[in-house]
Amino acid sequence: MCNAGIVPADRDPGVQAPGPRPWLGFGLGLRTEHFNDLLETNPAVDWLEINSENFMVAGGKPRRYLEAFRQRYPIVMHGVSMNIGGSDPLDFDYLRALRQLASDVQPAWVSDHLCWTGANGINSHDLLPLPYSDEAVAHVVDRVQQVQDFLGRELVLENLSSYVRFSTSTMTEWEFLREIATRSGCRLLLDINNVVVSARNHGYDSDDFLAGLPAPHIWQIHLAGHSDYGTHVIDTHDHAVPDAVWSLYESAIRRFGPISTMIERDDHIPPLPELIAELDQARRHFAAATAQPADAPQAASPSQDTVAA
């Protein structure tokens, strides 16, 4: 029986299923403290993630550095200002600058956060959680599709760390992520540290979070550290990756197969060799996760869409 005209119930008409997941390897978030060391020492880094807003300029020193990095590494763009879940109209001046940067840089993909960042024209300079409801899903899916049409590429959205929840939520965060990804066609950036932080703060099982995600949509992984205050955990990105994050990372790789992975450090930034050593840890945990017993299901190998470092 032909079913070519049937659209899955969890997918909007016209949304295409994701193709094979690209494989970049193991990368770092590009920070100004490491610009010269990266260019002079050529360390074992496979790719770089840039903060989009830091390079939304027509020229100057940041763009000269970026052009040099482009010649050596695959680049991924990661933003903090899209306000994809906000109630204000989408900022098309911002999106136009983002589209121009993507045209100049030709990144492997463009990402931002599944959140809202302000209202009534006021930027909170924070990444704020959304209510997990059908109404919020419909609102975000519409805005994601507008952004994807404008940029001419699929958007990658990151899960947040959170400290409060809306009483009006009618689904879990992972159900919310699944609905948005499958209905809009966007990809997901799985921040393992954020899962650990939110699971501690809200009392759910981080493995349930992983189990509820739409695996084909997961495009990238973030690894980072946090500050543990006993009663709660804060996502500070100023510590080395802790054991709980490494453990959940291995679980994610066993479950989903190879996913391009990077280390984030935004404060108390150490010398580059320390981050390279931490990136080597990521490689070892990845190897441990993919070293399945002979009778166990094997993780999927990197796709033929592999981007060479």
List the chain domain ranges.
26-290
Among the listed ranges 107-121, 256-270, 282-296, which one has the minimum average pLDDT value?
282-296
156-181 pLDDT, tens per residue?
A: 999 998 777 878 889 999 999 999 99
pLDDT at 13: 45
**pLDDT classification of 6: cutoffs 50, 70, 90:** very low
Cβ distance 130 to 117 under 8 Å? no
Give CATH for domain 26-290. Answer: 3.20.20.150
Report the amino acid identity of residue 244.
A
Quick one: pLDDT at residue 267?
82
Q: Quickly list H helices, 257-299.
A: 272-290
Whole-number mean pLDDT of the chain?
A: 87
pTM: 0.87
User: What is the per-residue pLDDT for 55?
Assistant: 96
Q: Is residue 229 predicted with pLDDT exceeding 90? A: no
> What local confidence, expressed as pLDDT, does residue 292 receive?
67
Q: Is residue 227's pLDDT more than 90? A: no
CA-CA distances (angstroms) from residue 69 to 44, 176, 261, 263?
A: 14, 36, 18, 17
Report residue 55 as tokens: 């390079």
How sure is the predictor about 15, in pLDDT bands with cuts at 50, 70 and 90?
low
